[in-house]
Amino acid sequence: MATSQTPTPAAEHRHHPAWAHQFDDMDQQREASSFAMWVFLLTEIMMFGGLFTAYLIYRLKYYDAYVAGSSSINVVWGFANTLVLIGSSFTMAMGVWAAQKGRRQQQVLWLVLTIVLGTAFLGVKAIEYKDKYDECHIPGQVIGKGFNATGGIGCSGEGANIAEELQHPKNANGREVPGKPAAAAEQIARQTEIFFVFYFAMTGLHATHMIIGIGVLFWLVWRAHKAEFGPEYYTPVENFGLYWHFVDIVWIYLFPLLYLINRIPHR
Amino acid sequence: MSENTNEKPHAHPTPGLYLIILSILVIGTVLTFFASTWDMGVFNPIVALTIACTKATLVILFFMHVRYSSKLTIVTICAGFFWLLILITLSLTDYLTRI
């Protein structure tokens, strides 16, 4: 067989199967793809930004209700979920690295680990939502009985009746401390419903993003398994990594804003 | 692996660096969890958000490779945060000035 000239690197770039011909070479294609993904993430900032702003405005207006709502969600689950998501960001970054290095088995491993951690996050969220359902803290007429003064009847869980909790709060040692008068407690309990509107809207939208992300991850695992990614072309993994890290960043802000409003023991 | 003489070398983070960033993020999470139990008055939310912003910055710079990205990427991200700043501050000028 006659030897052919070794193609120049630029020509090699142009012959990659994933090269789309409107781009000069793979490098320019990657730049354009990355820019496009960032612009999409800007639209995501707009979507979540709107919710964060509305959350902030109501927090300024109904701070006591936010404190009551925040106290009634389990901070340990939230803390655990934050660590799980940060871990999944690490495994995702490692997946991108492995794809860039062309290590097929490692790519698959790290992406699968990301799926596992993402699913663990959703599992914890399911437990949290179930707890809220049991305590009747889901906004609306159907389930939201925990926000009424006489609420909590038929709802399980210590914190079910918010008005009651506000009137007779217990400190960290379990001793009762002075609470709020009945009328104020009832009003705050009713206002707590808006906190839970934001809790479910924001964590629900976030969880939806997670579910979509996990779906895409399955597709990426399949492609990685088929050795489609290597040093020349790992754009899908890298750009999905951007999306996944963005979802992680949203949770990094959600955790303190929803779970850590007032956790000072004696207050 | 072919020599890429046409493109400038792309610096990339190493797994070791990723592990360091992961550790800092975990420490930040633990810190924010315990800081929420300390009575710092009006500084509680400020400390919580400062830690959150630091964590977000680390994720953006290293996990999302922005530290090694083009100026176009950096401008795009700054534009996004600038937009968010406008949304929050201008909305607040309405609500905070209501009698």
Kindly report, residue by residue over A40-98, the tens digit of the pLDDT: 999 999 999 999 999 999 999 999 999 999 988 999 999 999 999 999 999 999 999 99
B47-94 pLDDT, tens digit per residue, is: 999 999 999 999 999 999 999 999 999 999 999 999 999 999 999 999
Across A2-6, A260-264, B3-7, the highest mean pLDDT is recorded for A260-264
Q: How far apart are CA A17 and CA A52, in angstroms?
A: 43
Q: Are A9 and B6 in contact (CB < 8 Å)?
A: yes
**Token digits of residue A160:** 């079910």
CB A241 within 8 A of CB A257: no
Place of tokens 């629900």: A204
Q: Helix, strand, or coil here: A230?
A: strand
- CB contact, 8 Å: B18 with chain A? yes
pLDDT value of position A56 = 95
Closest CA to B65 of A203, A74, A239, A26: A239
Residue spans of the domains in chain B: they are 12-68, 70-99
Burial A129-150 (b: 16+ CB within 10 A, else e): bebbeebbbbbeeeebbbbbbe
What is the Cα–Cα distance from A207 to A126, expressed in whole angstroms? 10
Task: State yes or no: ipTM above 0.95.
Answer: no
Size of the A and B interface in Cβ pairs below 8 Å: 137
The number of beta carbons lying within 10 Å of the beta carbon of residue B89 is 11
Q: Which pairs from A204-208 meet CB under 8 Å and 24+ separation? A: A205/A47, A205/A48, A205/A51, A206/A48, A206/A247, A206/A250, A206/A251, A206/A254, A207/A122, A207/A125
Q: What is the pLDDT of residue A106?
A: 93
Contact A9, B3 (CB under 8 A): yes
Mutate to test the interface with A, among B1, B63, B87 (most CBs of A within 10 A): B63
pLDDT score of A12? 52
- SS3 category, A203: helix
Residue B82's pLDDT is 96
Check B6 against A86: CB less than 8 A apart: no
Question: What pLDDT, on the 0 to 100 scale, is given for residue B8?
Answer: 41
> Which of 3.40.1030.10, 1.20.120.80, 2.130.10.10, 3.40.50.300 is the CATH number of A42-145+191-259?
1.20.120.80
| Predicted local distance difference test score (pLDDT) of residue A14 | 61
| Count of other CB atoms within 10 angstroms of residue A172 | 11
